Amino acid sequence: MSSEAPLALVTGSSSGIGLAIARRLLDDGWDVIGVDRAPPALAHPCFSPVTADLTDGAAAEAAARAAGQVDALVHAAGVLRVAPLGRQDPQDAERMWRLHVDAVSRIADVVLPAMASAGHGRVVLIGSRVSRGIAGRGQYAATKAALASLARSWAAEVVAQGVTVNVVSPAATQTAMLDDPARAATSPKLPPIGRLIQPEEVASLVAYLLSPAAAAITGQEIQVCGGSSLSA
């Protein structure tokens, strides 16, 4: 790693959107610490993998403390479990809450105060358009909706210290999550552009929000929806 490069902590860096973000930041000259339960999918001199199960709150906090002073936090780790009313699994709900909400809350408790003390920092949480509600995905939607509330609350606390906190919420994105057998009965709805969102498109917006040019954008939820919001 370079002592001159900014340092980003990216969760979920072994696949999907998290992997695309890690790759984009490395291309942009960042050093990246990638935290994931799965083995790393990147081999790069400026990439440091950390294996951790973020559904374990203590492990999430330990990973944040081990990272030290970071310039950016991107929480992209996620899992999707779907079920209609009457067949919802409380364990699935707990797992999604722990991974999507509790993990980043614990990490933020470590890294955000340090960013505020340093007078600069960027946080981006990966949300979902599903957070507005969709049949059969209530538990998932609830955890993603919570991220928007956390982001606005945290942004209000650190805005005067040069730290921004935003949410990027994609529509259906081409990731391995779509191939999960647990959601085999629910096909993703294509956005009006006629194709799935690509992880690299989400990563491009995240990279901008982490840049100095985005210093005036905070507390926002920005959709990468391929036109899905036009009729919403």
Catalytic site positions:
140
Among 157, 9, 147, 158, CA closest to 72: 9
Q: Which residues make beta-bridge pairs with 167?
A: 125, 221
Q: Name all contacts of 193-200 with Cβ < 8 Å and 24+ positions apart.
A: 193/226, 193/227, 195/226, 196/172, 197/170, 197/171, 197/172, 197/173, 197/224, 197/225, 197/226, 198/173, 198/174, 199/16, 199/17, 199/19, 199/20, 199/21, 199/173, 199/174, 199/175, 200/20, 200/24
Instruction: Give the chain's radius of gyration (CA, Å).
Output: 17
Q: Provide DSSP, 134-192.
A: -TT-HHHHHHHHHHHHHHHHHHHHHGGGTEEEEEEEESSB-SGGGG-GGGTTSPPPPPT
